[in-house]
């Protein structure tokens, strides 16, 4: 009973569910159809919108394309117009060129005709000129070449005379303008430097305490004095002069070695040949050290730095050298100070000028190049020891052996002359002084037309007397210039030499 009941219940439930499913499925189908209809309606709307948007986009693109095409067409039209305009201009220019070519052809033909007429006229003129030259040659008795040479010589002499007068005028004007400044500069430079007078000697006097020492210096049979002379190269004069011995020699360094050796020997008391040789060698080494010390002290005093040790040694050696009786070291120091002052006045570097002034005569103490002028040997030595180019050139050019390349070279040259030419700086030997005066007079007498010459004012002026019938006034100016130039090139002299040419006419009669 129970099983049947359960089966009936299940069957009823299944039948009821099937009916429900059928009802539910129909509802779904109806709903789906509605959704589909709504979607189709919405799709139609969207489709219509898209179609409208596409049409609008197409219309817009079409309008833009038509605008672009119109712009291109307008540009092409304007380009065609420009091309047509250019073609028109070219056609006009072509016509203008053709017209100008025709004009040029006409001018060319006209010029050819004129050239032909000119050639004919030229031939006529040349023929007439030849006839006139032949007539002139027949009248004067000279050929055209001879007359031309005479004319050239006449013009040459006239031009030379005028040029000389012009040169003299220019030189006088330059002297007037530059002389004041130069004198002022030189005077101020000289006045600011302390100077010393020269002492020319070739002997050194060695003082001793008593004449008994003379015998010990001479030694047995003169062996000590001979050994001393052989070791030092100095002549030792022992005479009756009380308490003194004379050391004679032209080399100041050797005299100093002999003096110091004698001092040590006399102080020590042991005087014999072996001891003499030992002391002399020792003194030579001491003097070498003194050279270096003197060079260093000089460089420090002048404020010059960075000198090579070999150059410092040569600067110290200058203390024992002299030039025309003037101590070489004092002269170089004086020149260095003058150069520094003058360089400062001219706006240049005073340190370089002072360095060049100190080293300008360094070649005078170089003994291994006797065949070279001291300026050249000093220049090469300074160049080999890395001196500045301005200093090297100033050393080599201060006597005009080489060309000057900087303003320091003429400054050194001028200051060297100032130091050597000032009063009391140097002393000349009488024979060389007289010979220089004779050379001055002989040089002036070698010129034609010179009658007499007189060297006056210690050789600083040369009076030249010429014949009035042999030399004209303008020629006397040229003669004065030539003599001065010749003296400057061929002679060595301190300062300057004034050349005065005198031409006068004298009329003399006697009343009897």
Dump pLDDT digits (tens) for 288-335: 888 888 888 988 888 888 888 888 888 888 887 776 667 788 888 888
pLDDT band at 174 (very low <50, low <70, confident <90, very high): low
Q: Tally Cβ neighbours within 10 Å of residue 510.
A: 4
Q: Specify whether the CB–CB gap between 295 and 309 falls below 8 A.
A: no
How much of the chain, in percent, has pLDDT values that exceed 90?
5
Across the range 267-283, mean pLDDT stands at 81
Across the range 493-512, mean pLDDT stands at 79
Note the pLDDT of residue 198: 41
Evaluate if pTM is beyond 0.75. no
Q: What is the pairing mode between strands 498-503 and 461-466?
A: parallel
Residues linked to residue 501 through DSSP beta bridges, in sequence order: 464
Calculate ∠ Cα 445-446-448, nearest 5°: 90
Across the chain, mean pLDDT equals 80
pLDDT at 422 over 60: no
Note the pLDDT of residue 199: 44
Please state which of the ranges 39-43, 61-65, 178-182 shows the lowest mean pLDDT. Answer: 178-182
pLDDT band at 225 (very low <50, low <70, confident <90, very high): confident
Note the pLDDT of residue 271: 79
Across the range 94-118, mean pLDDT stands at 90
Describe the chain by its helix, strand, coil percentages, rounded to 5. Answer: 70, 5, 20
Across the range 343-352, mean pLDDT stands at 88
Note the pLDDT of residue 11: 59
What is the length of the chain?
Answer: 512
Task: Report CA torsion sign: 278, 281, 283, 285.
Answer: negative
pLDDT band at 234 (very low <50, low <70, confident <90, very high): confident
User: What distance lies between CA 103 and its chain's CA centroid?
Assistant: 61
pLDDT band at 190 (very low <50, low <70, confident <90, very high): low
pLDDT band at 185 (very low <50, low <70, confident <90, very high): low
Note the pLDDT of residue 331: 86
Across the range 273-289, mean pLDDT stands at 84
How much of the chain, in percent, has pLDDT values that exceed 70?
84
Closest-CA residue to 381 (of 312, 428, 438): 312
Note the pLDDT of residue 256: 81
């Amino acid at each position: 009973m129970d099983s049947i009941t359960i089966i009936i219940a299940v069957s009823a439930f299944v039948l009821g569910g099937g009916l429900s499913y059928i009802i539910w499925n129909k509802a779904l189908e109806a709903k789906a159809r509605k959704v589909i209809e709504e979607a189709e309606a919405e799709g139609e709307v969207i489709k219509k919108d898209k179609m409208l948007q596409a049409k609008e986009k197409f219309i817009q693109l079409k309008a833009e394309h038509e605008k672009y095409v119109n712009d291109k067409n307008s540009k092409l039209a304007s380009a065609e117009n420009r091309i047509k305009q250019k073609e028109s201009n070219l056609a006009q220019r072509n016509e203008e060129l053709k017209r100008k070519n025709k004009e040029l052809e006409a001018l060319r033909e006209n010029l050819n005709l004129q050239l032909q007429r000119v050639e004919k006229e030229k031939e006529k003129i040349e023929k007439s000129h030849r006839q006139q030259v032949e007539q002139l040659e027949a009248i004067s008795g000279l050929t055209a070449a001879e007359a031309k040479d005479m004319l050239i010589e006449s013009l040459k002499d006239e031009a030379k005379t005028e040029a000389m007068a012009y040169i003299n005028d220019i030189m006088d004007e330059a002297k007037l303008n530059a002389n004041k400044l130069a004198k002022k500069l030189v005077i101020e430079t000289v006045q600011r430097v302390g100077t010393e007078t020269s002492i020319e000697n070739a002997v050194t006097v060695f003082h001793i305490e008593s004449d008994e020492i003379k015998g010990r210096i001479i030694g047995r049979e003169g062996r000590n004095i001979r050994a001393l002379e052989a070791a030092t190269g100095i002549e030792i004069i022992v005479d009756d002069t009380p308490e003194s011995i004379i050391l004679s020699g032209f080399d100041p360094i050797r005299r100093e070695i002999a003096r110091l050796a004698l001092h040590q020997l006399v102080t020590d008391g042991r005087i014999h040949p072996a001891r003499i040789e030992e002391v002399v060698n020792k003194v030579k080494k001491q003097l070498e050290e003194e050279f270096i010390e003197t060079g260093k002290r000089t460089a420090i005093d002048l404020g010059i730095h960075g000198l090579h040790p070999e150059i410092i040694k040569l600067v110290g050696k200058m203390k024992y050298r002299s030039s025309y009786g003037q101590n070489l070291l004092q002269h170089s120091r004086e020149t260095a100070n003058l150069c520094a002052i003058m360089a400062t006045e001219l706006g240049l570097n005073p340190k370089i000028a002072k360095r060049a002034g100190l080293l300008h005569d360094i070649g005078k103490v170089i003994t291994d190049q006797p065949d070279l002028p001291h300026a050249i040997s000093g220049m090469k030595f300074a160049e080999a020891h890395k001196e500045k180019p301005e200093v090297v050139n100033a050393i080599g050019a201060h006597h005009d052996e080489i060309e000057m390349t900087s303003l320091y070279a003429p400054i050194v040259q001028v200051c060297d002359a100032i130091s050597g030419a000032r009063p009391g700086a140097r002393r000349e030997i009488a024979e060389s002084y007289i010979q220089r005066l004779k050379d001055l007079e002989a040089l002036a007498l070698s010129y034609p037309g010179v009658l007499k010459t007189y060297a006056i004012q210690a050789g600083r002026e040369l009076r030249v007397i010429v014949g009035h019938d042999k030399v004209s006034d303008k020629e006397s100016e040229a003669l004065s210039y030539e003599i001065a130039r010749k003296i400057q090139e061929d002679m060595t002299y301190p300062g300057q030499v004034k050349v005065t040419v005198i031409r006068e006419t004298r009329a003399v009669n006697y009343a009897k």
